[in-house]
Amino acid sequence: MIGTRLGPYRIERKLGQGGMGAVYEAVHETIERRVAIKVLNPGLSQSADVSVRFINEARAVNLVNHPGLVQVSDFGQLPDGTAYIVMELLEGETLSKRLARLGGRMPLPEILRMCRQISSALQAAHMKGIVHRDLKPDFQRLAIVVGNLA
């Protein structure tokens, strides 16, 4: 995908790969804004349920206004039907990299601060009836994976 275009965005590099898809850094060529684009794995895009759940991530995150949640600005489909979501590009150190740098141990005050921030973001989502089902240490902020609170 490197060098290809999704609408006004030019894909520049791959940031990561997960079970659901890959995330790329891209730039909006007209306004030169850098973004992250999450592209669903093509095989999963064949499932209507998976595609709907993927796009519901974009809807859900925009229902919850919280500084700990990544902002989604657009979504669409590639010519082959593969879904993608355009999100803000976050800079900084992920939790997994920080843990590696610190030899697997973090100071207790830092752990507590991080737990408060995560809990605050999850509470904001829960207040909107959304449950997050996919926390990963490679995110700087939470990207919501949707599920209804029962």
- Residues catalogued as catalytic: 134
Specify the residue for token string 């990544």.
Answer: 70
DSSP for the chain, please give it.
Answer: -TT-EETTEEEEEEEEE-SSEEEEEEEETTTTEEEEEEEE-HHHHT-HHHHHHHHHHHHHHHH---TTB--EEEEEE-TTS-EEEEEEPP-S--HHHHHHHTTT---HHHHHHHHHHHHHHHHHHHHTTB------TT-SSB-----B--
Distance CA 118, CA 132 (A): 11
